[in-house]
Chain A
Amino acid sequence: MTYSYFPGCTLKTKGKDLDIWGRASAEALGFTLEELPDWQCCGAVYPMAKDEIATRLSSVRALMAAGEKGQDLVTLCSACHHVIKRVNNDLRTDETIRDKVARYLKLETPYAGETNVRHYLEVLRDKIGFDVLKEKVVNPLTGRKIGAYYGCMLLRPASEMGFDDPENPTILEDFIRAIGAEPVIYARRNECCGGYCTIKDKGFATKQVDAIMENARNCGAEELITACPLCLYNLKENATDGLPVAYFTELLAEALGVKEAAK
C-alpha cells in the first residue's frame, strides 16, 4: 500500500527522527510513504477564523495532490495532521470556504474534502492492525514502562479529528503494548505542553511540562513518547527534571529491528 505523505517543515530539520524512523518502519511493515513533490508548510496552527482563506490553501493543495493520485494523505507530525484534517473538514462542510478556495485556486470543480487524511498511528491501528505489528516485532521492548503523551492536537476537537476518545484515548497505549512494552496511564497525558507560548514565556511552558512530568513519574512512567516536535521540545528542553522523551517512531523502529539494521 502506498500513501501520499506530508512531512511538514519540522520533520526535515529539527524533527528528523520522527520522519526517518517513521518511513523506515513503514517499509518494514509493508507500506510506503510517498512524499508529495511540492508540499508547502501547513502553517502549524489551524486557522480558526472563518475569513482566513489564504492560510488554508497549502493544506488544500496537499489534499488535492494526494487526491489526484487516488491516495490517502498520511501525516506524522501532530500539528500538520491537525491543520490538514480540520481544513479538509472545512472544505467538506463550509460552502463559503469551499467557494472562496475554489476561486483563489481557480478550480473548475471546487475541492470538497474528498481526500482521506490519516495519521501514521491511524494507519497502524486501522490499516495494518496492532496485532500484525506485534507479530513483526523482533526486539520487544520488554519491561520498559512508557507513558504516552498525546498532547492536544491529535485528539481535539474530537468531532473533527475523529482520532480517539479525547478524554480517555487508547491508541498510543495499544501501540506501546504491541511493541512489547508496558503502557503507563496518567491523567495529564492529554494536557497541553505549553505549545508555541514558549516563544512568549518559557516559564509558562515549564510550569505545564513540570506538572505533566510529575504526574507521569508518580504513576510509574520511566520514559515518554510523543508524535509532536513541539511537545518533544517543551517536554525535553523546558522541564526542570524531566523523564527521557522520544518520538513514537523511534521506539517503533527499535522494536522492528530497523534501527539496528541502519547502524
Chain B
Amino acid sequence: MKTNRQHYDQMVKKASPNSKLGLNCFKAFIVGGLICVLGQFLYGLFESWGATNDQAATYVAITLIFSAVLLTGIGKFDDLVNFAGAGAAVPITGFANAMASPAIEFKKEGYIFGVGAKMFLIAGPVIVYGTLASMLVGIVYFFIQR
C-alpha cells in the first residue's frame, strides 16, 4: 500500500511538471503586465487632460474597475481568469471582479442578503485587514513623528 502511495506520488509529480507552473506564471506575467501597461497609458492620458498625479492614479483605478465590472457582467472576466490566473486577479481588476461577481451571482437571494451582503464576500476581508494594517502603520508613524 505504502509503495503504491509512493509510486502514485511519483506519477503525480511526473504528470504535473514544473512547466505547467512555468506556463501559468508566463501567462500571468504577460496579462498582468499588459493590464499595468494599459494603466500606465491611461495615467498619461488623464495627466495630459490636466489631472494631478494622485487624481490620475485614481482615475486609472476607476477606469480599470469599470472595465473589470463590465467584463464580469457579460461573463468574459471568468475567461480571462481561466487563461491568465493571477494576471487578471492580482491587479485592481481582480478586486473589482471579486465584488461584481458575487453581487450578480447572488442576485436571486435578494438585494439585502444577496447583492448587498455577498458583494463583500471577498472584498470584506480585504478591506478589514487592509484598513487594520493601515491603522497599525498609522500608529507607528504617529509615534515616530513625536
A and B associate: no
Query: Interface residues, chain A, CB within 8 Å of chain B?
Result: none
Residues of chain B having any CB pair with chain A under 8 Å? none
